[in-house]
Amino acid sequence: MRYEWLDDYLMQKRAVTKDLQPVWNWIRYHVGGRMFAAVCLDNRNRPYYINLKLDPEEGAFLRGQYKDIIPGYYSDKVHWNSINPDGEVPDDLLRDLLDKSWSLVLAGFSKKRQREILGLTCCGTECKTCSFYGENCDGCNECRGKVFHAPEGKACPIYACCVQKHRYVNCGACEMLPCDIWRAVRDPALSEEEFERSVEIRIRNLSGGVKNGI
């Protein structure tokens, strides 16, 4: 297979797991327990297709543009597509299609469940890395924004704006990111440099980037 980078690329994406389906001999990649990509292996464990999910219109268009993209092998041929692992689909295009497949499958969950799967708050913070998590706070997703530092009985202003007002999955959907609310709701213990660094990491997290931020 010419796309030797594929496994590393997929496994660095947030919330991705993989397994081997022994009957089909497929290496399957999941987000939230749902498959979004697969490498189909022959009886000598050589890849013969890469399967991924796309919007039906985009999938149909690409199949007309590239002979190495065909309707999904052993899959729903409306939504799934198979790519020749030794073909001529450009690497950058394949990366983009894998990203879209990951996003499409993730979007099939409720917005709250998406945040839980990603392990992120709406502002891109990884709750489990916070020193207050567990003892002082159950996390933004569990307490619906009523975290320890929020006004009593109310949600954190970021959660109130993002989830309650705009109904976004997270702040990554907002064109104003990072906004004045982000700057108003900040840890006073952080220096300006530390705060800006935290903003960079959270934005990277929200972009669907690698598991451990920048």
* 120 or 16: which leads in pLDDT: 16
pTM of the model: 0.81
Percent of all residues in the chain with a pLDDT value above 90, rounded to a whole number: 59
Is the peptide bond between 178 and the residue preceding it cis, with omega within 30 degrees of 0?
A: yes
CA 114 – CA 21 distance, rounded (Å):
25
Residue 199: other Cβ atoms inside 10 A: 17
Structural domains in the chain plus CATH codes = 6-106 (3.90.1150.30), 119-206 (no CATH)
Q: What is the pLDDT of residues 121-170, one digit of tens each?
A: 888 888 777 777 777 777 787 788 888 777 788 888 999 999 999 999 88
What would the mean pLDDT of 102-109 be, rounded to a whole number?
Answer: 94
Q: H helices within the chain, ranges in order? A: 6-11, 56-65, 91-106, 111-118, 157-159, 180-184, 192-206
Split at pLDDT 50, 70, 90, the class of 208 is low
Q: CB-based contacts of 137: which residues, under 8 Å, 6+ apart?
A: 127, 130, 143, 147, 148
